[in-house]
Structure 1
Amino acid sequence: MTTSTPPAMPVRRPRSSRPRSSRPHSSRRRTPLLRTLAALCVSVALLGLQAPAGATARTVPVAGVQYQQLAHPVSAPPREVVEVFWFNCAHSYQLAQPLRDWAARQNPPVTVRHIPAAWPDQPLEMAYARLYYALDRLGLEDRLEQAVFHAVRDEHEDLSQPDALSTWADMQGIDAQQLLAAWNSPEVQQETQAAPALREKYDVHEMPSVVVGGRYRTSPFMVPDGVAGTVPTVDYLFQHSVAEAAAAVKKH
């Protein structure tokens, strides 16, 4: 993964250096031109109003392309999505806040359940899974998620080691001793060891990935617009999943 790059700033074109003409223009010449420009503006405005509907129709996710259906569905609450992520992943960093914002906009809000992506033979992934579970045990994960991403991805800090973690905790204004105690607790170590099997349960082999309704999985690597297209795909899958659940209840 490469370090996330900030969004490009809009390009400001320099003003023309061509001198203005000193010759006065006739109002008769200017009037037809103004009418033409006004007509063009109206046409562009109308096209702009029509664009979203067409864009939505063109971007309906396709099974097997923008998302996969799990071979073995997992029982899940109807208003919960699962995000499998890694603190040292640029795409996970880019997706985290937009996904949270989408979940908060739903009525009632959707819960985003986090699972740290970890493979048993990858010590760094296991260490950051341990950090996630330590923060979660202290009730700090929601508040400090972006701070961890910033430290790891933007500042290139190694928070996989207790000494660095203690220094970082002090900078965040949290009790470093409590964080290290949670880090070393049997409960956190047990959750960390179980993380790879939990990831496998959701059939996730790339990060980040989002599982909706325990049945549908998508990721920035499956949609044409990458991270920008992932949340709209999640929204589509969520609405579809809720409609399926409602139909099943009605049927029975």
Structure 2
Amino acid sequence: MIKPVSLILAALLMAVQFVHAEDFVAGKDYEVLASPVHTQNKNKVEVVELFWWGCGHCYTFETMFDGWKKKQGDTINVVKMPAMWNKTMKLHAQAFYTAKALGILDTINGPFFKALNVDRRRLNSESQIQEFFAKHGVDKSTFEKTFNSFGVTSQVNLAESRARSYRMQGTPEIVVEGKYRVSPGQAGSQARMLEITDFLIAKEQTARAAK
């Protein structure tokens, strides 16, 4: 008799977890958060990428992470979240959510990374960021209205609060399902971060399938 698809999927996920069970250890390869953080989509396992446009390691990780993300399809919910622990990073977070609100995040993301890491531009004031957006077709009035809007400010504050709850140590980092934090320091490399992320996703999907 042919097994239901859900049972086959669960078996496959359990097999993946078994293969990696001894490879990745909590407290050694990744951290288990003391208090889980709520996720945005209860129907899919959430993967949060914590980054900063001015972080050189994030710049090199971006292409790798994007390639990994494309392979996932729509099986998980990936959330890109700017980290912030100083004034400049908070301005960049405002720029991030401004671009998102205007529907041009995919257009802005790569050039902003390049401006900070390759061109060595500072972009540490609202006026400099406004000029940058202007080069990508956003007029000054639209930028200023959006950049200082309640919606953007709320998203910045929420991201800042969630990052504190994640107990983040630096960038880039990945948080899976609001429960597990994966960092390059513990993982050993950016490539291994993604391997551990795969393991944790399978772990969570297996737990869901078993319910």
Q: What is the TM-score of this pair, normalised by structure 1?
A: 0.68
Q: Secondary structure at the match of 1:113?
A: strand
Are 1:125 and 2:89 an aligned pair? yes
Secondary structure of 2:193's match?
A: helix
CA separation of 1:136 and 1:142: change in aligned 2, threshold 3 A = same
Per the alignment, residue 156 of structure 2 pairs with 192
C-alpha contact 1:82 1:211 (8 A) present in aligned 2: yes
User: Sequence identity of aligned pairs in percent?
Assistant: 27
1:114 aligns with 2:77: no
Give the secondary-structure state (helix, strand or coil) at the position aligned to 1:163: helix
Distance 1:200 1:112 in 2: 19
1:210 aligns with 2:210: no
Mapped contact 1:83–1:209 kept (Cα < 8 A): yes
1:4-153 pair list within 5 angstroms: 60-76=23-39, 77=42, 78-119=44-85, 122-153=86-117
Secondary structure of 1:156's match? coil
Contact 2:48 2:81 in 1 (8 A): yes
Number of aligned residue pairs: give it: 190
What whole-Å deviation, never above 9, does each CA across 1:122-163 have from its counterpart, x for those lacking one? Answer: 111111111111111112223321221111111111223233
Contact 1:91/1:220 (8 A) holds in 2: no
Runs of 4+ in 1 over 4 A off after TM superposition: 56-59
Distance 2:140 2:92 in 1: 16
The structure whose Rg is larger is 1
Distance 1:220 1:59 in 2: 19
The one-letter code of the counterpart of 1:63 is A
Structure 2: gaps (5+ residues): 1-18
Q: Find the residue that maps to 1:84 and give its secondary structure.
A: strand
Cα offset for 1:180? 2.8
Q: Give ranges in structure 1 of 5+ residues lacking alignment.
A: 1-55
Secondary structure, counterpart of 2:50 in structure 1:
strand
Q: Give 1:208 deviation, angstroms.
A: 1.6
Partner residue, 1:166: 130
- Over the residues paired in the alignment, what is the CA RMSD in angstroms? 2.3
Distance 2:184 2:168 in 1: 13
| 1:172 counterpart SS class | coil
